[in-house]
């Protein structure tokens, strides 16, 4: 009986460890909202179009989508979503991105006439069971 209990406990422990590992490794999405300084949206869009999205991909960030608001009050905001393999992967990707010499050069050159981004909001999310994007 003790052997059976030990075996069941071991199997249960393995199962729970696998579940915890799977939860830690599940994909996460990041909603980011950039607010530009007045008149700087074209500069931001140019930087994303020509450089940023490619550098994101280089560092394991998946570009899900990018949107602009239709309301005048939010005309200085860019909304976008990135996908990562896990929250830990997101942290590693952002660290690598921030230290990337190509990114540092692009940011510096694009801000020669002053800063582009006035503020950044970030929200990490997981997809629901009924989401079209997993």
pLDDT value at position 114?
96
Residue 57 lies in a domain: yes
Average pLDDT, the chain: 89
Question: Mean pLDDT, to the nearest integer, of 30-54?
Answer: 98
Residue 13 lies in a domain: no
Residue 108 lies in a domain: yes
Residue 75 lies in a domain: yes
Residue 17 lies in a domain: no
CATH number at residue 33: 3.30.70.100
Q: d(Cα 18, Cα 20) in Å, to the nearest integer? A: 5
Helix (H) or strand (E) holding 106: helix 101-110
Total tally of structural domains belonging to the chain: 1
**Per-residue pLDDT at 38 exceeds 60:** yes
Q: d(Cα 56, Cα 72) in Å, to the nearest integer? A: 29
Domain interval for residue 31: 26-125
What's CA 7's distance to the chain center, in Å?
A: 41
Residue 88 lies in a domain: yes
pLDDT value at position 92?
98
Q: Is the pTM of this model over 0.85?
A: no
Residue 133 lies in a domain: no
Residue 16 lies in a domain: no
Q: In this predicted model, what pLDDT tens digit does every residue of 53-92 receive, in sequence order?
A: 999 999 999 999 999 999 999 999 999 999 999 999 999 9
């Amino acid at each position: 009986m003790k052997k059976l209990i030990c075996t069941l406990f071991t199997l249960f422990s393995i199962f729970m460890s696998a579940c915890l590992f799977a939860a830690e490794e599940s994909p996460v999405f990041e909603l980011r909202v950039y607010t530009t300084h007045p008149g700087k949206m074209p500069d931001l869009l140019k930087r994303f179009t020509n450089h940023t999205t490619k550098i994101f991909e280089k560092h394991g960030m998946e570009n899900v989508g990018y949107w602009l608001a239709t309301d005048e009050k939010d005309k200085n905001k860019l909304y976008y979503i990135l996908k990562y393999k896990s929250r830990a992967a997101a942290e590693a990707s952002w660290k690598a991105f921030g230290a990337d010499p190509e990114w540092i050069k692009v940011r510096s050159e694009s801000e020669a006439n002053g800063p582009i981004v006035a503020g950044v909001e970030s929200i990490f999310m997981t997809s629901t069971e009924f989401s079209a994007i997993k």
